[in-house]
Chains A and B, each alone.
Chain A
């Protein structure tokens, strides 16, 4: 079929008056070739294929998904497109809104968007509007038959979404609840005349496009980490030299932090380029200054274009440099000064107003040396939205949908809904158990495949619960093994003291032990793997170690301590791979067990209202 299509393209006239073209085009569509594939095969712009199809009246029809080949009448409103003869969709003239979901779940794009899409659907239905969901992922709640009024199991591409829009003629399309996939469709859809509800596609583009976003930052007098672009290694070395190491390098064409790396020196930058740079001048490598030991802040806002509601300001437990999707975070803030909070709130509001956000927006800040840097702005629902909604009792996507339908923040008054008086920790669930041989270090590339939420009356309790939820059973006593890289050594005595005061015996490799001893901490030395037997790996296997704190940054140190981390994982020894994580763990272990108890979300909310 593919060869036939290719040959046809070479030998034939591509005009709608060519009857032969109609035949092969219909056949190609029946076989499932997308407009884009055909455009590539025939070396024409994508829009041409769509235009030809429309001119020749080749459009999909929508059939119901049922369980037995139409033998029995189906009542579930699931539809799929097909280039066939029948018509199973009954046209209606109700008010309709299309919600675009996130498509297949993958690392970086998970169930959070499912939550948002569900609440968008509920809000639409409660407003008497037919909620039409488009998502190709049957594993989600938003694709349950009773979540929306109609469901299209279709890919989230321009072609498929437009086909549905032409069938359904909705009054608007919601793109900000399905993550990056539907967000990327906002501009093409708008150009095709589709009404995008909420934040305008132009504003979305201003936040998404690197250069346009820099202009926004400049205009508002805000701060970004120093950065640059490079298409080859020479240019990269120059940029890195200019902004000074360490830097974060990433290809501009990937999302979710794939192939993203923290680079500490020239040698590592050379290695990075050797591994990651394909010969693609169109896709330069982005180089940003890496803010070491900065505190990372995630902010979710809800805005109606004028007013801004700061839904949640979360503090990451791991420092900047760990992908935000892999970092635990806590709400309310723990260690950020009131002055910083004020500046964060101000900048968030300024950004929301400048971009005329109607709906949700997420901003990532980093605080380093009293400076507030903006790392990223996403004018859409972020992965923390479900967490913030539950931790504050304010249903953000539900309210955002109402804003898109014309309500104002003033009318909705989220401030009055807000609950507090407790602490919530979001912890990530990492899938390392399922991938033998993979290093468990966290970095700029996202690894987590799930998350849990711990609630408590204070941070220690909330963090302890989150660790239990994520599958880390924290010990109460025993030996704790410490091995940290040189950059983390200044923070070592504090961590050592915390564990020592909790009654743990300290165990460390030579270098780490020396630092601890210097600070008058009692510590036993353990052999490294190459120093003979019994070494630290043997001790882990023999269950002599209750907890591992092992940090490494930079490719070389990472490789050295890999055996330790893998063994800890294999033998189910709890571990921390960052200093911040180790501190939080010590705090959690110190939480008084007898005060830790289980309560429902409703009980937390109710107690707060009474109090």
Chain B
């Protein structure tokens, strides 16, 4: 079925649908990751975005239940050069088109993804529409122009959970609290409250490996409730949208920092930045891929990281904060910590999924910082 992609500035590419009829819109971004399309699809951070994979052949190894990063597909649409309809892999449980159709997500192929990427690189990420029904670029462009820009959008409510949950045997599980709000910890490690703004499951898997027992809570979980739960530390997850819109969360974090050791990844890192007096800016076309070089300023070591963020922290007026990691492509901040309090976070994804495992040491570093803070 013929399909059209039109960006808000009029840039258009014809292709075809591999998931049936559709019409949708959102911010168009590209990711340079060569594999990991299933992780991209199920990563809640992509909520509201149409993602172009720069790697030309997508879907070769199918999809598998083990590679889910949440329980569903979050992005608006997947844009590829060519979708492989007959996957070949022993782990594969279904094909990419079937998977997208199950979650009612459009997939478009046959477009010049390199031309699209170049356009976004030169003109910045912007909104766009895809349609199988409206094939007139002028009409579709009007629809793209009517879409809200990513800046100023709070997308957390679309992906965050309503209730607390636990993580057992690699799956979400029910939780039990006593009458006074104390959570029944299993005693499986450091007691950690994980605020879920659109969490990737691999973060939980890695936290467990590092020796934490996570209790996952919704963004509205109050500071008092956190205190009452009996937790020893707080972790702030990744998530979609513009961090500056989460004003309530930023206020809560300012309080949490006074009570708990706090760590965070991605959106969590941006919120910590805000809470400590910093700010966030939109990147031109974002960092989305598996090959971003990051330097750990403490050790000088360079790691290749998995990244997915459209905003970044700027420390204009935050005297108590120092950068711990920096992106070597554009020198933006990739990690920070408080100079006196047990607070640290990273912008990139040490849990990878998909991507290199260079950054996994950070979970141990989180554990180390929290253990030291508790025993002090």
Contact = CB atoms under 8 A, between A and B. Distances in A.
Nearest to B115: A86
Contact of A69 (B13, B117, B329): B117
A73 interface: yes
B112 A84 contact: yes
Contact of B115 (A68, A72, A73, A85): A85
B112 A69 contact: no
Nearest to A63: B114
B185 to A, nearest CB: 44
A398 B13 CA distance: 47
B121 interface: yes
B325 to A, nearest CB: 20
Contact of A71 (B13, B112, B115, B121): B121
Contacts of A70: 54, 114, 117-118, 121
A57 interface: no
A88 interface: yes
Interface in B259-305: 289, 291
A29 to B, nearest CB: 14
Main secondary structure of the interface of B (DSSP, over half): mixed
Nearest to B34: A69
B114 A71 contact: no
A386 B13 CA distance: 50
B111 to A, nearest CB: 8
A88 B114 CA distance: 11
Contacts of B114: 63, 69-70, 84, 86
A63 to B, nearest CB: 6
B32 interface: yes
A79 to B, nearest CB: 13
A68 B307 CA distance: 14
Contacts of B55: 69
A68 B118 contact: no
B13 A85 contact: yes
A84 B113 CA distance: 10
Interface string A263-304: 000000000000000000000000000000000000000000
Contacts of A85: 13, 112, 115
Contact of A86 (B32, B118, B121): B118
B112 A68 contact: no
A69 B120 CA distance: 12
Contact of B32 (A63, A68, A73): A68
A86 B54 contact: no
B32 A69 contact: yes
A68 B292 CA distance: 11
A213 B374 CA distance: 93
Contacts of B112: 84-86
Interface residues of B, number: 14
A73 B285 CA distance: 13
Contacts of B99: none
Interface string A349-384: 000000000000000000000000000000000000
A251 B112 CA distance: 46
A265 to B, nearest CB: 56
A308 B165 CA distance: 89
Contacts of A72: 121, 329
Interface string B184-217: 0000000000000000000000000000000000
A73 B13 CA distance: 21
Interface string A65-86: 0001111110000000000111
B348 interface: no
B235 interface: no
B307 to A, nearest CB: 11
B366 interface: no
Interface string A506-544: 000000000000000000000000000000000000000
A88 B118 contact: yes
Interface in B285-336: 289, 291, 329
Nearest to A86: B115
Contacts of B13: 85
Nearest to B56: A69
Contacts of A71: 30, 32, 54, 117, 121, 289
Contacts of B291: 68
A69 B117 CA distance: 8
Q: Indicate the member of A63, A69, A72, A85 with the most B CB atoms within 10 Å.
A: A69
A73 B118 CA distance: 8
B274 to A, nearest CB: 28
Nearest to B12: A85
B319 to A, nearest CB: 34
Interface in B90-127: 112, 114-115, 117-118, 121
Contact of A84 (B30, B115, B121, B289): B115
Interface string B1-38: 00000000000010000000000000000101000000
Given A69-B54, A70-B114, A85-B112, 19 more contacts: A63-B114, A68-B32, A68-B291, A69-B55, A69-B114, A69-B117, A70-B118, A71-B117, A71-B289, A72-B121, A72-B329, A73-B121, A84-B112, A84-B115, A85-B13, A85-B115, A86-B115, A86-B118, A88-B118
29 contacts: A68-B32, A68-B289, A68-B291, A69-B30, A69-B32, A69-B54, A69-B55, A69-B114, A69-B117, A70-B114, A70-B117, A70-B118, A70-B121, A71-B30, A71-B32, A71-B54, A71-B117, A71-B289, A72-B121, A73-B121, A84-B112, A84-B114, A84-B115, A85-B13, A85-B112, A86-B112, A86-B114, A86-B115, A86-B118
Top 9 nearest A-B pairs (CB, nearest first) are: A86-B115, A69-B54, A85-B112, A70-B117, A70-B118, A84-B112, A69-B32, A71-B32, A70-B114
Interface of A: 63, 68-73, 84-86, 88
